[in-house]
Amino acid sequence: MNGVHDMGGMQGMGPVQREQNEPVFHSPWEGRMYAINRAIGAWRKWNIDAGRHEIELIPPADYLRMSYYEKWLTRNIELLVKHGLVTREEIDSGKPAPGSAKAAPPLTLNGVPAALIRGSYMRPEASAKARFKSGQHVRARNMNPVGHTRLPHYARGKAGTVIRNHGIFVFPDTNAHFLGEQPQYLYSVRFAARELWGEQASRRDFVFIDMWDSYLERI
């Protein structure tokens, strides 16, 4: 979907501030947020694409002011409420509703190592057909979906070259909305910087973007 979250190629956002020796977490609550995210994800009430889409629904002003893990917190609250795991009143009060059932957590300490490596979205057994091959010239579709997509706005309508076939993967555009995985081939597509940004870009620069079959059309 189009929104402020699709920041690739945006102008006027200021330079990227690279932090030397950046820690994994800047404060303890961020690490806690990461752990909570893993724990509630074990309920399997939603998938990674639905989680990404929920972040896209954060109002633009809030999205721009929030830190990375603040967005995770907001996303997780909304998903927990939407899927009936908690109520809005329980979130606001920090206490369970009177008489609510106590559920056993789906993720225990012993299950953490397996949970950290679980989650491959590759589907080699699926019967999808590859429409493109390495070296083929393609164009990214110029589409503006109202739902989730991994096709960046700055690449839409631009021409590139298929460099690699990654295999068959879950299609995020449908998976995010619980419309089925609809696995299809995923490619690495190379775009010249000048194709994306115009003549002011360097001739030597290229951008490689992973794109699903549905994002591409033949030239």
| Residue 124 in domain | no
Shared domain for 111 and 146, answered yes or no, is: no
**Per DSSP, what are the bridge partners of residue 188?**
164, 210
Tell me how far apart the alpha carbons of residues 165 and 33 are, in angstroms, rounded to a whole number: 35
Q: Residues 91-108: pLDDT tens digits?
A: 999 999 999 888 888 998
Shared domain for 39 and 76, answered yes or no, is: yes
Q: Residue 113: which pLDDT band, with cuts at 50, 70 and 90?
A: confident
Shared domain for 146 and 212, answered yes or no, is: yes
Q: Residues 131-169: pLDDT tens digits?
A: 999 999 999 999 999 999 999 999 999 999 999 999 999
pLDDT at res. 26: 95
Shared domain for 71 and 108, answered yes or no, is: yes
Q: Residue 24: which pLDDT band, with cuts at 50, 70 and 90?
A: very high
Shared domain for 155 and 214, answered yes or no, is: yes
| Residue 20 in domain | no
pLDDT at res. 17: 86
Query: Which of 84, 117, 150 marks a domain boundary?
Result: 117
Q: Residue 15: which pLDDT band, with cuts at 50, 70 and 90?
A: confident
Shared domain for 32 and 108, answered yes or no, is: yes
Shared domain for 86 and 143, answered yes or no, is: no
| Residue 132 in domain | no
Percent of the chain with pLDDT over 90: 84
pLDDT at res. 6: 93
Q: Determine how many CB atoms are found less than 10 A away from the CB of residue 108.
A: 11
CATH assignment at residue 181: 2.30.30.50
Which run of H or of E encompasses 62? helix 60-65
Shared domain for 153 and 210, answered yes or no, is: yes
User: What is the domain range of residue 107?
Assistant: 28-117
Nearest residue to 170 via CA among 159, 162, 158, 178? 178
| Residue 17 in domain | no
The answer to whether the CB of 161 falls within 8 A of the CB of 136 is yes
CATH assignment at residue 61: 1.10.472.20
Q: Residue 83: which pLDDT band, with cuts at 50, 70 and 90?
A: very high
**Average pLDDT for the chain:** 94
pLDDT at res. 166: 97
Query: Which of 83, 117, 151 marks a domain boundary?
Result: 117
Q: How many domains does the chain have?
A: 2
Q: Residue 20: which pLDDT band, with cuts at 50, 70 and 90?
A: very high
| Residue 209 in domain | yes
